[in-house]
Chain A
Amino acid sequence: NAGVTQTPKFQVLKTGQSMTLQCAQDMNHEYMSWYRQDPGMGLRLIHYSVGAGITDQGEVPNGYNVSRSTTEDFPLRLLSAAPSQTSVYFCASRSGQVTGDEQFFGPGTRLTVL
């Protein structure tokens, strides 16, 4: 099992550019989430999905879109990058919506917006 994988590991964008952060898991997990982590702060939820075809907003969704066409993949799109989106992005998955399932994190994508 590769677990949760993310690409790219690092990315530099210019203001206004768009890009997609990729996330995939091979554990057949229904529940997937995207977080951003800023210095001195915890992980803040951007978007989440409870299963293929179902997505919803988290705490900080503005400027980001997601889709979930398959159980395995959960890409995060930055529509028009802004310096405020400079952060480390983590994708995570867990078995289901029931609390108590362990959440597994990907290795992260470090994004810099100039």
Chain B
Amino acid sequence: GENVEQHPSTLSVQEGDSAVIKCTYSDSASNYFPWYKQELGKRPQLIIDIRSNVGEKKDQRIAVTLNKTAKHFSLHITETQPEDSAVYFCAAISNTNAGKSTFGDGTTLTVKP
């Protein structure tokens, strides 16, 4: 089955700096890659996603890049703010795997004011 590895597990940045979180996946059939933000005690919420036919997608301060050849994708947050502090999860989904989602173990991002 699919295996998703996420790095780093913790990340601390100064307010205004950029943050980058990377994920690698194993199943070349995976074709959809969402990113979720989970605040303490809350449910995961989708913040951005990318499909395998796209190399990059941007939404204001958040961007995601995908390298299908290398099987890795990354989340980029620019001009970080304290409210960006949360746990971020990547996931990979494949149509050939009954559409099941495989998640990374998460990255705890702390933005220091």
- Using CB atoms and an 8 Å cutoff, list the residues of chain A in contact with chain B: 31, 33, 35, 40-45, 48, 50, 56, 58-59, 90, 96-100, 102-103, 105-108
Contacts and interface: CB of A to CB of B under 8 A. Distances in A.
The prevalent SS among residues of B at the interface is strand
Given A42-B89, A45-B100, A99-B99, A106 B34 contact: no
A43 B42 CA distance: 13
Contacts, number: 64
Interface of B: 1, 4, 6, 9, 31-32, 34, 42-46, 49, 51, 89, 91, 93-95, 98-106
Contacts of B102: 45, 59
A99 B89 contact: no
Contacts of A45: 100-102
Question: Would you call the interface of chain A mostly helix, strand, loop, or mixed?
Answer: loop
Contacts of A43: 44, 89, 101, 103
Contact of A97 (B9, B49, B99): B99
17 contacts: A35-B103, A41-B105, A42-B6, A42-B89, A42-B91, A43-B44, A50-B99, A59-B1, A59-B102, A96-B99, A97-B98, A99-B51, A99-B94, A99-B99, A100-B51, A102-B49, A103-B34
